[in-house]
Every structure is written in C-alpha cells, then in structure tokens.
Structure 1
C-alpha cells in the first residue's frame, strides 16, 4: 500500500473479510497496520480504531485549528498588508555571493571512473557538511526571497515548509548518514507544520496549496493523516472542470489572495499531485493534460511559478518514478527533449538546471545518454570551498508586482546544494556501475 488514495478503504475492506485482522486492528491498530501493510508509521502519533455497532455510532470531529480566531483574521487580512508580509520573512539576507570560479579541470577524461567517483563522493560529503551548518535546529531549510529585476530591493530569508520538503525530496537520493540525519530532522519539522487533515501552506497569509501539500506529503508519508489519505478528499475536490488540479485551495474562511495569484492548473503542481496520489482513476485527467502539454510542446508560459522547462521535466520524471506506470508514455519524448536542451555540449543551462536535468534523465533510465564524467567534473568544479553551490533562481513569479516587493524569486545556496548532491549521487552511481 504505497499510495493514500484508497488506504482507509483497503483497511476497512480487509477488516470486514478477515476476522483475525479485525481483532488485531481493534486491539493494536498501529502495530497491525505497520506489520500487515509494511509501513513505518510516525512513532509520535497514536491511532485509535472504534468499531461501530447497530446500537453505537462514533462521530469524529476535527482538531482545533492551529491558529486562534484572531490569528486567522490577521492572516486573512494579511494578503493585502505589506506589514504582515514583512513578518512572514526573517532576518534580511546578505547579498548574493558570486559563483566560485570553476577550478581548472584536468585533461578531459584523464581521471578514471573510480577516481572520479571518489572525488564525487568527497564533494557530496562537503556539500552535506555545508547543509548541516545552515539547516536550523528545528530541521527547517532557509530560502531567500528576492527581487528578480531589482537587486537593490532588500533580500530576506524565509522558511516555508515547501522549501524544506523540496530539498529533502532531492536529498533522499543519498544514503550517507549525514543526509539521513538531515532528512529525519526535516521530517519532524514538517510534522510540526501540518494542518488538519494533512495540508500545508507556503505563508500563513496565503491559503493552503496543493504544491506545498503534495511535496510535504511525499516526504512524511509515515504520518497517519497522510498514510490513511485524510487529505485526499480535499485534494480531489480542488480540480477544475477538466479534471486538472488547481494550485490554491480556496475556502470560505481562508485568505482570498489577489487575482494575479490565482493561477489554476500548473504542470509542476499537477505532476506533484500525481506523484503523491499515484496512477489512480482520479488523476487520469491530469495525466492526460500533462502528457498533451509535453507531447505538443506547449510548456512555454504554462507555469507561473516554474519558468524553466527543465524544472517541469524534472517534476514530471519524479512523478513517473513515484506513480509508475503513470505518464510512462512520456519516457522517450522526455529523454529527447532533455537531451536537446543540452545541445551538443551537454550544457543544460546553469548549474541548478544541469543538476535537475541529470536527475531527470536518471529517473527515466537515460543517464547513459550523457557524458557522465563531464557532468561530474562540472558540478565538482563549481563547488565552493565551504561545500556549497551558488544561489540560483529555483522558482518564482516573474510577473507579480506587490508594492515594494516587486518581481519575486526564490532560491538559495542550500536549495542548489541539495539538487547538486542529488545529481552527484546519480552520476557517482553510474561511474561505480
């Protein structure tokens, strides 16, 4: 049972047919579910099973909101309050550091695969050491919010759950003990930010959204709300008339964001929903829509938040891995499109774009189509002495204008570093094969 869309129904159906399972489920629900379905559930969360009878009905009511009524009112008004927006940010961030000059590379292919794999492993460990120094004690990852068009506008740190989940999805590629420790700490942080029944939001003055909800759910699938699919009805209810998933979950008591925020179907968001829900009948319309966008080459301007085509390809291939056989028909065309981005030189764009392209090719079993040694050398050669890789635009709205905040972009050295580590893990694996 890897996907949540029908988890509760499957447990209930088995309990109806298997009296031994039913008895164990009532007596020891958490242990029974973990053993019989091969999952490790969040150890800090209890599960209680109540058996209804013909003379007793159980009514389950949701927990209180994490926020007081006053806080909810403030957040609802905060969508148009510059002062409230400032309070969602943290200490002013320092100016962006220039990229480290690439170190002189050895003669092409002079290093043996074994020697280069060793250098790649050392680079990964240095990157993890950097991340240990910047991920805060709670397990939250920091991103930087900046103005794309005007570098003189102050930059600020932010730490929405989405950023932490996005980076952990990349870092889960590593079996290094340091990587596992970072991921474990971040999972605990994400649990602390969850809202019933398994939803997340980017900022408190914004409504809950499917992008944050699905990437966070992918990371903490052991939480019972996620494993049992408590958030699935809300996700499925957030579709347009064509069956595609809308970004924002606008409810009556939620902040009503300005119209320019109300982008509806986004290819990356839909890919993330498919990754979470799996190859399920309820995701088939979204799958067909995403397939058509890619096959018909209509990705330009299709995403408001992810301006790079390679990012859409990366998210789509991740969905293919998580929700197999969903989107599998795209495998050959995605390989061709990604390789075309590299041109004859294998340069897929900046370092972040290259890292995502490498991982996307790995996801669809086409890593052998690129010069693995060249990519390892490029990524290693761009690493700073402190183990980081440079801050680059990861996502952002290049058209939005909010008073003094202007055109908003998001990225950080931590984000780039997580994706570079993922790419190096894939490349080193190929060198060691």
Structure 2
C-alpha cells in the first residue's frame, strides 16, 4: 500500500464514505487506525476521535509549548547569549583522538570471506558495546561541535535530536538485540523532544528545520502525530517557487538567527523530505531537481551543510529505499557516481565515507560492484580496541562567509561508529552468504 502523504485526510475521507469504518474509528480509534494502515502505534500516546454534529462543535487546542515564555524570548537572541548557548551545548569535549594506523589490506586473498564475516560480526558486537557506553540515560546520542579552521577554539559536546535520529536510522540495519534496545531508548528520547505538530530543532536557539524534522519523523514513524501527517501541511508550505524544500521553517515568532543564511534548497534536506513524504506529486519537483543535479554531475558546492558528495548520495539512496519508486531513474547513475569517488587503489577518502558509500551501494542493489572483502578489511582494521571508529567530519557549515569563526563542523566517534556498523552489517551478510 502506498504511503498516504496525509493520513488524517485519508481517515476523514474513509469515514465519510464508510459508516462502518466511521463507527469503528469512534469506538476504538487506535485499533481502527492500526488496521487501516497496517501499523502499530507507539504506546503511551492516547488517540481520541470526536464527531461534530449540526449542534455540536469541537475546538482542539494544540499542546502547550515545551518552552516557557521567558525561554522563547531568550531563544530569539540565543545566538548572542552565552548563557542560553550553554544550555544548548554541554560539557567541553576532549581533544580528538588520532585514528588507528591504516590497516594493511590483504592482496593475496589470505582472508577468506568466511573469516572476514566472523571478524565483522565481532567488530559489530564490540562497536555496539562502545555505543551503549556513550548514549545517555535518556537515549540521546552525543555529537561534538568543533571549528574546522581553528583547532584552538574549544570543542563542545551536543545532543541534538538530529544526530540521534541519524544514528538510529543507521542501526536499524542491525538485528542484534542490543541495537534494537538502543534504538528503542532513542525513539523514546525523540518522542520526548517533538514539538507540535511534529517538528524538531537542531539547537534551542534555532528555528525548526526540515533536516531534523524529517529524519526524526522517519525514526519515530509510529508516533500518532507523524503517522497521521500532522506536520505535512507546514512541510509542504516550506517550498520555494520551484517546488524545492527549504531548510529552515521560519515564522514571525520563531528565532531569527537563521534568516541571514537561510538555505533555499539543500540536496540532502530535499532527499530526506522525499524519504519521509514518499513518492507523490508534492515531491515531484524536488525529485526532478535531485535527478538533474546528480545526472549532470553538478553537486559540487550545492550543499552548505554536507561537505562530502558521498553524503548526498547516501541520503538520496535512503530516499530511494523508503519512498520507492521515487528517484528510481537514478539507480545506475548513482552507482557510477559512487564508484567514481574511489582513488586509484579502489579506496574511498576515509572510513566514514567508506561506510556511507557501502551502505549507499547496498541501497541501490550495487554492492557487488565493489570488492566486499577489501572494504570489510578496511572497516575491521580501522576499529579501535574500545570498539569505536574515529571521529570525522560528518556535517557542518564550511562556507567562508563568516570567516574562520563560521567554519563549524560536527562529528563524533559515536556517529562514525553507527555508520560503520551499518556498513559492516551489509558486508557481513554478503561475505557470510
């Protein structure tokens, strides 16, 4: 069944045409909705359905804001308020640890696929143990904010919902019980940070953004607000004249700190919107825009927030899987583009890019086009003794508009490790087949 772009409208339409369904929806809303869409709604969230009549009118008030009036005022000037920023950031982060020495890749085929599959499963086990030690008691993942131009600028831990959603979506590929348990805790955390009618912010002093909102929505798709598409109308309103989705959701009473550098269209953000909304006319222009840029090879400089082209490919292939048949025409082109990122030794630039490339190729059914053993050896050999993979730049504003101060990067050992576990999971299944 094709995912409806707005499930609430579908329920209203069905109830208007089918009196039996209308009665079931009124008597037991949760059961009727679950049966209609073939889903299980998140526990702990009540669902009520009211029926208006000619003599009875219902007014539904939205939830109270999670930020008080004073906090909302502070948020509007948060970028200039050190005290408010301290609430957004957390403890200073330690210096970056150097990666392990680059492993020597077997040239003579001494490592058999079976041996590598076994080693890969052990790496995944150790990696999950490391991640368990880094996720906080609420299920939040941490990231590190740092300056890519000046290493002397202090590094800080941060816990934006965006990072938690990104890592949960990566770990969904792993069928280990510990991965499932971590994902469950993190989904609870994401549900606790949602703002009506289904939006998220990266920082409290920033407005809602579609990157955070769509990834978090994908991660907790069983939340009633998300399942019923409560956030869809506002997402659809946030398009430019060409039908592409804009990053920031700016409103009159929202923080204005993002207005000065608002991104009119980012390829990763648009890919994430397509992944969430699905293959519908409302995402058609965004799909065609992505197809044109990738097909023409004109992605260079197209994203302010994602410096590596492989990240755009990774997000695009995730959208292809989740919004099938969206972007299907890109399948052969993407395979060529991803393989073209390798050097003359057949290797990608770093271990994070390797992980994203492996998962992207898996998503489009082209994983057999690379040497799975070689990539597995690199991933296995790059893991530290404590089960982590090195911190690398995952995303961030690298434009020079604000000078060295504005060159902010984000990444962490946890982020790299989650994506490496996703890639190893894909490779182990091939090697162990």
- Structure 2 counterparts to residues 14-413 of structure 1, below 5 A: 14-104=14-104, 108-399=108-399, 405-413=405-413
Change in Cα spacing, 1:66 to 1:332, as seen in structure 2 (3 Å) is same
CA displacement, residues 220-242 of structure 1 (integer Å, 9 cap, x when unaligned): 00000000000000100001111
Structure 2 distance, partners of 1:21, 1:149, is 60
CA displacement, residues 336-387 of structure 1 (integer Å, 9 cap, x when unaligned): 0101111442211110001000000000000000000000000000000000
> Which piece of structure 1 moves more, 108-117 or 280-289?
108-117
Change in Cα spacing, 1:407 to 1:39, as seen in structure 2 (3 Å) is same
Structure 1 distance, partners of 2:301, 2:307, is 7
1:4–1:232 Cα contact (<8 Å) kept: no
TM-score of the two chains, using structure 2 as the length reference = 0.97
CA displacement, residues 94-148 of structure 1 (integer Å, 9 cap, x when unaligned): 0000001245555542122222111111100100000000011100000000010
Structure 2 distance, partners of 1:122, 1:377, is 13
Structure 2 distance, partners of 1:82, 1:263, is 25
Structure 1 distance, partners of 2:361, 2:280, is 24
Structure 1 distance, partners of 2:122, 2:370, is 22
Change in Cα spacing, 1:2 to 1:108, as seen in structure 2 (3 Å) is farther
Unaligned runs of 5+ in 1: none
- Cα deviation, residue 9, structure 1: 1.9
2:4–2:10 Cα contact (<8 Å) kept: no
Aligned to 1:52, the other structure's residue is in SS state coil
Structure 1 distance, partners of 2:200, 2:376, is 36
Unaligned runs of 5+ in 2: none
What does residue 7 of structure 2 align with? 7
Structure 1 distance, partners of 2:333, 2:404, is 42
1:362–1:426 Cα contact (<8 Å) kept: yes
CA displacement, residues 61-109 of structure 1 (integer Å, 9 cap, x when unaligned): 2111111111100000113334432331100000000001245555542
Structure 2 distance, partners of 1:203, 1:86, is 11
CA displacement, residues 257-279 of structure 1 (integer Å, 9 cap, x when unaligned): 25553111000000000000000
Structure 1 distance, partners of 2:209, 2:36, is 33
2:206–2:258 Cα contact (<8 Å) kept: no
Structure 1 distance, partners of 2:393, 2:97, is 13
Structure 1 distance, partners of 2:240, 2:118, is 49
Structure 2 distance, partners of 1:353, 1:157, is 22
Structure 2 distance, partners of 1:403, 1:329, is 39
1:3–1:227 Cα contact (<8 Å) kept: no
CA displacement, residues 41-74 of structure 1 (integer Å, 9 cap, x when unaligned): 0111110011122222222221111111111000
Change in Cα spacing, 1:287 to 1:262, as seen in structure 2 (3 Å) is same
1:4–1:227 Cα contact (<8 Å) kept: no
> Which piece of structure 1 moves more, 51-60 or 365-374?
51-60
TM-score of the two chains, using structure 1 as the length reference = 0.97
1:3–1:276 Cα contact (<8 Å) kept: no
Give the number of aligned pairs: 433
Aligned to 1:157, the other structure's residue is in SS state strand
- Cα deviation, residue 291, structure 1: 0.9
- Cα deviation, residue 3, structure 1: 3.4
Aligned to 2:145, the other structure's residue is in SS state strand
CA displacement, residues 146-176 of structure 1 (integer Å, 9 cap, x when unaligned): 0101111110000000000011111111010
